[in-house]
């Protein structure tokens, strides 16, 4: 289990990126949802020992991550938001080089590791191709391959599906789902569907603070009977914002679908929403903004 206690990070310019974060993350897939600028990447970089927090504690199994970062690195796989590689190097050679850096010195063991990973992420057929010629989805699958070197017990993936087309996104999420059974996998993203598809537990982070934590299905069930929807024209939106607690809007066929939160039927043409993780997410962010 990964245990994060009262984690705070203050940047030199005064920005409080993390503000007393407490999380207990068990084995399996865990979703960390939040808008851009919420502090997700700062939290992931801190857990990955790439920066030291201002205060707080992180433990993974029996490892004090802040005091002994080198111990965590031996069992960590990390795919950052901006994953850079040497573009002219082939996938095979790059993965082989990374295996050496991870301490797999023996050539037979390294060969078995590299070939196994390339097959696992479905890149064997392009193993000799330069990484510069990879699509976005192929690069992300290569990123997972390098994160899996050494059989890590903690895997962090930061915004992995941003910019991927639907087919590559589906392929990547299926891959993540396959590796998330016996290890701790943290999926940090602003894409609600990624968490809904994969994660039995999740948290919402915004403004450097944890706003909500729990099981998606239970959180969704709690919204039922409290979220209502209506289709309106665009010029009606401001008036509805004044009258109702609008938590989200989206366009469909040139008209605007609004979701509002209310404990009682607001009438006025609204119909109940069965509920989804998006409603949980937007309702949580809206409550945070109103409380600020």
In this structure, the number of other CB atoms found within 10 A of the CB of residue 101 comes to: 9
* Tokens, residue 227: 């979220």
Return the pLDDT at 68: 96
Q: What is the pTM of this model?
A: 0.89
* CA nearest to 95, candidates 74, 112, 71: 112
In this structure, the number of other CB atoms found within 10 A of the CB of residue 194 comes to: 23
Distances (CA, A) of 284 to 209, 277, 287: 12, 11, 5
Contact of 116 with 109, CB cutoff 8 Å: no
Domains of the chain, residue spans: 221-291
Which of the residues in the chain have pLDDT under 70?
Answer: 84-85
Torsion angle of C-alpha atoms 150, 63, 207, 230, degrees rounded to 10? 60
Return the pLDDT at 46: 96
Return the pLDDT at 80: 87
């Amino acid at each position: 289990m990964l245990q994060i206690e009262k984690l705070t990070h203050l940047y030199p310019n005064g920005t409080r990126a993390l503000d007393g974060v407490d999380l207990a993350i068990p084995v399996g897939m865990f979703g960390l949802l939040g808008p851009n600028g919420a502090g997700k990447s700062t939290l992931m970089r801190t857990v990955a020992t790439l920066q030291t927090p201002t205060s707080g504690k992180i433990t993974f199994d029996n490892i004090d991550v802040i005091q002994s970062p080198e111990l965590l690195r031996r069992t960590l796989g990390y795919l950052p938001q901006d994953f850079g590689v040497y573009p002219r190097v082939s996938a095979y050679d790059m993965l082989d080089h990374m295996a050496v850096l991870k301490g797999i010195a023996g050539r037979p063991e390294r060969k078995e590791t590299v070939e196994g990973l390339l097959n696992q992420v479905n890149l064997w057929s392009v193993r000799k191709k330069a990484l510069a010629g990879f699509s976005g989805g192929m690069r992300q699958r290569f990123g997972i391959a390098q994160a899996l070197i050494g059989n890590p017990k903690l895997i962090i993936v930061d915004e992995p599906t941003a910019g991927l087309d639907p087919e590559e996104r589906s392929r990547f999420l299926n891959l993540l789902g396959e590796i998330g059974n016996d290890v701790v996998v943290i999926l940090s993203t602003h894409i609600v569907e990624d968490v809904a598809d994969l994660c039995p537990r999740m948290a919402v982070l915004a403004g450097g603070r944890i706003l909500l934590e729990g099981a998606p299905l239970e959180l969704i069930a709690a919204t039922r009977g409290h979220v209502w929807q209506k289709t309106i024209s665009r010029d009606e939106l401001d008036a509805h914002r004044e009258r109702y607690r609008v938590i989200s809007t989206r366009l469909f066929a040139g008209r605007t679908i609004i979701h509002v939160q209310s404990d009682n039927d607001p009438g006025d043409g609204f119909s109940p929403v069965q509920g989804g993780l998006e409603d949980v997410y937007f309702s949580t962010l809206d409550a945070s903004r109103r409380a600020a």
